[in-house]
Amino acid sequence: MKFDKYPFAPEIKQSVEEAGFVKPTDIQYKAIPAILRKEDVLAIAQTGTGKTAAFALPIVQMLFSQLKYSEYIDLKCLVMVPTHELALQIAEVFRQFAKHTPLKVICIFGGVDQDPQIANLKKGADILIATPGRMFDLISQGHLNLDRLEVLVLDEADHMLALGFIRDIRDVIKHIPRKHQTLFFSATINMEIKDLAYSLVKNPLRIQVSPKDPVSKNIDHSVAFIKMDDKRFFLERLIKEHPESKILVFVRTKVRVERVFSAMERVGIVTLTMHGDKEQQERIDTMNRFRSGEVKVLIATDISARGIDIPNVEYVFNYDLPDVAENYVHRVGRTGRGVNKGTAVSFCSPEEQTMLTEIQEFLGKEIKVINLSSEDYVEIKGQSEEKNSDWKSLMKEAETWMNEKAKKKKKKK
């Protein structure tokens, strides 16, 4: 069934066509009819399967079909998300589908001045995408009222639990009408997720897509065994082999992000960085530059792994393996999204062998190994343009940068 056969208003069909949507993905095919019937939904689907459109499209249709043209606009839908990057992304999807309707979409998150967000709320909104902290701040200040809410969406629910937002999720129920529709979306499920979901939703329709293979079939993923101190040489080689490709590099800590950034800079590779020490506006600017392709390589911690839909990422390089096996799925899911093909390569040092075993157990299968002969290994190191191989001095340089950044942050506060 194609999208043009769905019972959408002509204005919404036009937006769907302009967005290039032709046929629904599995999660969209299963979720959209249930949401249009105003059922509660618990949806579990691997990353990159089109979960955002699965709830955004029917919500826009429902709200548009009941829209009463008046000066006063009721807030009808709240989408709670764990990070500001995800909030901005989801808001953009809603705006895309609602562009030919009068529906208003607003996005609020912390780390930036709240006054412009308050001004937007005063003008009225039909759909609000929010991170929990800023949302509750504005509720407590009297700037946000959820009394007329009809639809509550919890997106990336497992990540919200991991970040400690469980109380916020439960608290929001106190601020909204008893009769409402709840849509619960997550890339993974465990007992904690199940308990939370079933405490919030009534007789939900449970939808689970590809539970046996958490990594999309569109992704070719492999692992290479590389010593910790040699990883930068292999990253340099891979990036230089794909100069026109959009590449996302995942590193374990923010200090190591800056080390890798410096190492790539020394060999003439331009990159961007993303981690928790970045100011909110800096993070927004970084994502915009990477999305647009102005800079083709982004080095990041796991802050960028969850739910972020970055167009046309062809390669994901796990410079370090993640601390949690489940995060491997979210990292590699930044490529191979929708119908696109993607490639993920992980570097595994001897210290990370245990983590690799945990990842493979989580996936239920072994990851393909890239066999490097000793000659190939030595050759790749020898071909590097890196002049300074003193890793200790590089570590000191990165630590100095982090200390200076911390001082500036303290002064600003």
Domain, as residue range, for 302: 219-409
If asked whether residues 127 and 226 sit together in one domain, one would say: no
Assign residue 27 the CATH number of its domain: 3.40.50.300
Domain-embedded: residue 225: yes
Residues 248, 397 share a domain: yes
Q: Could you write out the DSSP letters of every residue in 140-204?
A: HTTS---TT--EEEE-SHHHHHHTT-HHHHHHHGGGS-SS-EEEEEES---HHHHHHHHHH-SSP
**The model's pTM:** 0.71
| DSSP assignment of 281-300 | HHHHHHHHHHHHTSS-EEEE
Cα–Cα distance, 251 to 407 (Å, whole number) = 23
Query: Which string of DSSP letters, residue by residue, matches 28-64?
Result: HHHHHHHHHTT--EEEEE-TTS-HHHHHHHHHHHHHH
Q: Are residues 142 and 276 in the same domain?
A: no
Q: Based on the domain organization, do 105 and 178 belong to the same domain?
A: yes
Per-residue pLDDT of the chain (413 residues; tens, 9 = 90+): 789 889 999 999 999 999 888 899 889 999 999 999 999 999 887 666 788 999 999 999 999 988 755 444 689 999 999 888 889 989 999 999 999 999 999 999 988 899 999 999 998 899 999 999 999 999 999 999 999 999 999 998 877 877 778 888 888 888 899 899 999 888 777 777 778 777 877 778 888 776 556 677 788 999 999 999 999 999 999 999 999 999 999 999 989 999 999 999 999 999 999 887 788 788 888 888 998 999 999 999 987 656 567 878 999 999 999 998 888 988 898 888 767 889 999 999 999 999 999 999 988 899 999 999 999 999 999 989 886 555 555 556 556 655 666 666 566 55
Task: Indicate if 265 and 373 belong to the same structural domain.
Answer: yes
- Are both 173 and 271 inside the same structural domain? no
8 located within any domain: yes
Q: Are 273 and 258 in contact (CB under 8 A)?
A: yes
How many angstroms separate the first and last alpha carbons of the chain?
Answer: 55
Last residue of a domain, one of 209, 237, 269: 209
Domain count across the chain:
2
Answer with the one of 209, 227, 255 that is the final residue of a domain: 209
Does residue 214 form part of some domain? no
186 φ/ψ angles, rounded to the nearest 5 degrees: -155, 150
226 and 197 share a domain? no
Same domain, 287 and 357: yes
